Amino acid sequence: MNPTPRPLLFPTPPERLCDARGRPYFLWDSEMTLDAFRAVLADPDPDIRAAYVGKLMRQAKPDDVFEFVRLAEIVELWPRLERYLGRDRPMWRYLLDRWGEVRRADIAAQ
């Protein structure tokens, strides 16, 4: 029996994710702690979640993104979050296109 293959992700080890004040490396321009960041990712307002998921996708290593959000959530928020991606938007669009996810997000937004 073959085990289910696992994605080849190499997230930042937990002990290296945050500075001494509890701020994740990808929130270098904010005083937000990791706990506060996790809380805002659970906000019921999709526009707020999209802004922070976009910041995560723009400033964190791609492997670290999936430690905080599922692909399905990125797809669900795509129409709202892509404007926050800056110059990383083409890279994420390419990945999602390759995985067939952007088409589903575009269809869902119509």
Per-domain residue ranges of the chain: 22-109
pLDDT of residue 109: 59
Quote the pTM value: 0.82
pLDDT of residue 102: 57
pLDDT band per the 50, 70, 90 thresholds, residue 33: very high
Average pLDDT over residues 35-62: 97
pLDDT at residue 83 above 60? yes
Estimate the crossing angle of helix 46-59 against helix 71-81, to 10 degrees: 100
pLDDT of residue 58: 96
Instruction: Say if residues 23 and 32 touch (Cβ distance below 8 Å).
Output: yes
24-46 per-residue burial string, b: 16 or more CB within 10 A, e: under 16: bebbeeeebbeeebeeeeeeeee
pLDDT at residue 5 above 50? no
Estimate the crossing angle of helix 34-41 against helix 46-59, to 10 degrees: 130
To the nearest whole number, what is the mean pLDDT of the chain?
87
Calpha distance 47→25 (Å, rounded): 23
